[in-house]
Amino acid sequence: MPTLGVNIDHVATIRQARQTVEPDPVGAAVLAELGGADGITVHLREDRRHIQDRDVRLLRETVRTHLNLEMAATAEMLAIALEIQPDYVTLVPERREEITTEGGLDVAGQLDNLIQVVTQLQGAGIPVSLFVDAASDQIKACAATEAKFIELHTGAYAEAQSEVAIARELEVLAQGCTLAQKLGLRVNAGHGLTYWNVYPVAQLPGMEELNIGHTIVSRAVLVGLERAVREMKAAIRGG
Ligand SMILES: CC(=O)[C@@H](O)[C@H](O)COP(=O)(O)O
Ligand SMILES: NCC(=O)COP(=O)(O)O
Any binding-site annotation on 214? yes
pLDDT digits (tens, 9 = 90+) for 65-92: 999 999 999 999 999 999 999 999 999 9
Q: How far is the CA of 37 from the centre of ligand 2 (A)?
A: 14
Q: Is 50 annotated as a binding residue?
A: yes
Clarify whether 153 is annotated catalytic: no
The verdict on whether residue 68 carries a ligand-binding annotation is: no
| Ligand 2: nearest atom to the Cα of 100 | 10
Q: In ligand 2, which atom is closest to the CA atom of 151?
A: 1
Q: With beta carbons less than 8 A apart as the criterion, state whether 152 and 134 touch.
A: yes
Is 191 part of the annotated catalytic residue set? yes
- Which ligand has the shortest distance to the CA of 6? 2
Q: From 7, 48, 89, give the residue whose CB has the most ligand 1 atoms within 8 Å, as the site to mutate.
A: 7
pLDDT tens string 179-214: 999 999 999 999 999 999 999 999 999 999 999 999
The pTM for the full model equals 0.97
Distance CA 113, CA 75 (A): 11
**Pocket of ligand 1, candidates 45, 94, 191: which has the most ligand atoms within 8 Å of its Cβ, to mutate?**
191
Whose C-alpha lies nearest to ligand 1, atom 7?
Answer: 43
Give the integer Cα–Cα distance in Å for 83 and 79.
6
- Neighbour-count burial of 164, counting CB atoms closer than 10 A to its CB (0-12 exposed, 13-18 middle, 19+ buried): exposed
173 confidence band (pLDDT: 50, 70, 90): very high
Question: Which of 43, 151, 209, 231 is flagged as catalytic?
Answer: 43
Considering the candidates 94, 169, 191, 231, report the single residue annotated as catalytic.
191
In the reported structure, the alpha carbon of residue 6 is separated from the centroid of ligand 2 by a whole-number distance in angstroms of 8
CA distances to 35, 49, 64, 194 from 224, rounded to whole Å, are 10, 23, 20, 16
User: What is the number of the ligand closest to the CA of 216?
Assistant: 2
Distance of CA 33 to the CA centre of its chain: 16
Grade residue 12 by pLDDT with cuts at 50, 70 and 90.
very high
Mean pLDDT of the chain: 98
**pLDDT value, residue 98:** 86
DSSP string, 65-98: S-EEEEE-SSHHHHHHHHHH--SEEEE----TT-
Provide the pLDDT confidence category of residue 95 given band limits of 50, 70 and 90. confident
pLDDT value for 15? 98
Q: How far is the CA of 191 from the centre of ligand 1 (A)?
A: 7
What are the E-state strand segments in 18-61? 39-43
| Whether 43 is catalytic | yes
